Copies of this chain bind each other. A is one copy, B any other.
Amino acid sequence: MNGAESLVQTLTDQGVDICFANPGTSEMHFLKALENPRMRSVLCLFEGVCTGAADGYYRMKDTPASTLLHLGPGLANGLANIHNAKRASSGMVNIVGEHSASHLKYDPPLTSDIEGLARPLSHWVRRVESPRAVAWDVAAAVSKASEYPAQIATLILPGDASWQDAGEPVAPPRTVAVAKTPDAARIDHIAKVLRSGEPTLVVLAGRSTRGRALELAGKLKAATGCRLATQFFSARIERGAGRVTLERIPYAVNAAVEYLKGFRHIITVETTEPIAFFSYPDKPSLLKSPGTSVHALAEVGEDGAAGLEMLVDALGATYTPAVLQQRSTSAPPTGALGPASIAQALAAALPEDCVLVDESLTTGRETMGLTVGAARHDLINNMGGSIGYGTPVATGAALACPDRRVFCMVGDGSAMYTIQSLWTQAREGLNITTIIFANNSYAILKAEYAHMGAGAPGERALAMIDIDRPRIDWLAMAKSMGVPAVAVETAEAFHKAMADSVHEAGPCLIEVRL
């Protein structure tokens, strides 16, 4: 077999059986190797879709996908969503095609410093030096991408390493990552804090916002009266009816400071203490009150569930029942669209076990808190802050969970970044309902302009914030890439469109005209 065949076989042997690809000339042997039926190849029309889809796939499966990118610029196009994935602790294996070693010295036009481009946002970068090394290099990449927290592994594949003979197949062993258990000494200390009765907030992140960890957090709350929250953004939360509901630390600095000031203690689980997303003149970066103490139950990358289990045990709360979220029973809303009616429509329409990808900056920020009583679902946020993450992540999530409907709520400005996702959704027949909140503006920036102390934007500044000239025709945009679409202007129409979308296989788009 040649190097490319060795690569694809090793990927699948190691459990990586999906590849989000946008190939070029130097990857033709890789394409040929993709004839391997164990690998599912998904074509994306822009590399930011590939890397965002790999992120979405990881979020739902906890195992890495691979991407195929064409030399330095192909990698560069995928970097923004690699950044978001890295901040979400999603693992992925990026295969970056490269010129053959013998050709590189002539500095042909597509040459760039691929290692230099990869390193700032990859945890692990390696260049294949020989086709016979490919299998071992791939195994190392998958191993890194599968650690906890997972890593971004980028493997550079020169053309000659791809087409030359790789010898007999080899099967490097698969490694199994084990998260570090938190130090037992911390448990006693934190148990004391919780027994003190002083106001305490437990902030959950990583894998502690789901499954057993979430149940345990509910027991803690029931037993000690502590409150439970997440950062404003979370990689994935299990929420809705029948689950332990987590509060959300506000985004705006003043609101977050106000929210946190009542707590004497903050206990962090797989995260750090709350900080502001951006810096502003005359606003703090650290959001807690000066008198608040921060205690780490589990550092990022440690096993938060194990820490919570020990803590619950230390507090004798193992059999304390958690309070679970009630299903909201309010009827579907009617009338004008606004934060409350949007939330009601969502809460009424979301089907059980759906996945909700949220990149609705302005609209969603005011809405999401009102949807905790929806049927149980998984909620995914943008962890890195680079917009254009939503539609690719929804694409990957839908491929990871073909039996679950994915709802992707996205602002119009964000959607335009990686709108090519719609094409892949149509091509693969993915069960995704894309909800475009069309306010014809980078609306969040109007608020941020004021928060920055810059006052009200003048005409020229506003022209850089409003995207209403021309107004994007979302129905035409969806049609152009083969996705059926509908526009809604009332709460009842929005609810109906969402409910209808559940009954139709494949993607659709709802333009919510605000």
A388 to B480 alpha-carbon distance, docked (Å):
18
A100 is an interface residue with CB less than 8 A from chain B? yes
Interface residues on A, range: 35 or more
Q: Are B472 and A102 in contact (CB under 8 A)?
A: no
A482 is an interface residue with CB less than 8 A from chain B? yes
Instruction: Find chain B residues with CB under 8 A from A84 CB.
Output: 73
Q: Which among B41, B74, B445, B475 is the interface contact of A386 at CB below 8 angstroms?
A: B74
Q: Are A465 and B31 in contact (CB under 8 A)?
A: yes
Instruction: Find chain B residues with CB under 8 A from A148 CB.
Output: none
Interface stretch, picked from A117-125, A136-144, A218-226, A344-352, is A117-125
**Given the contacts A32-B457, A416-B45, A476-B476, A277 and B112 also touching, CB distance less than 8 Å:** no
Q: Are B460 and A34 in contact (CB under 8 A)?
A: yes
Q: Are A34 and B278 in contact (CB under 8 A)?
A: no
Distance in Å: Cβ of A364 to nearest Cβ of chain B: 16
Q: Are B474 and A102 in contact (CB under 8 A)?
A: no
A→B interface (CB under 8 Å): 21, 23-26, 28-29, 31-32, 34-35, 37, 41, 43, 45-46, 48, 71-74, 76-77, 79-80, 83-84, 87, 99-100, 102-103, 106, 108-110, 112-113, 116-117, 119-121, 159-160, 163, 233, 275-281, 285-286, 383-386, 388, 413, 416-417, 419-420, 423, 426-427, 442, 444-445, 448-449, 451-455, 457-461, 463-465, 467, 469-477, 479-482
Q: Which among B100, B102, B116, B463 is the interface contact of A116 at CB below 8 angstroms?
A: B116
Instruction: Find chain B residues with CB under 8 A from A34 CB.
Output: 460-461, 464
Q: Are B463 and A472 in contact (CB under 8 A)?
A: no
**Given the contacts A34-B461, A481-B470, A77 and B48 also touching, CB distance less than 8 Å:** yes
Q: Are B83 and A112 in contact (CB under 8 A)?
A: yes
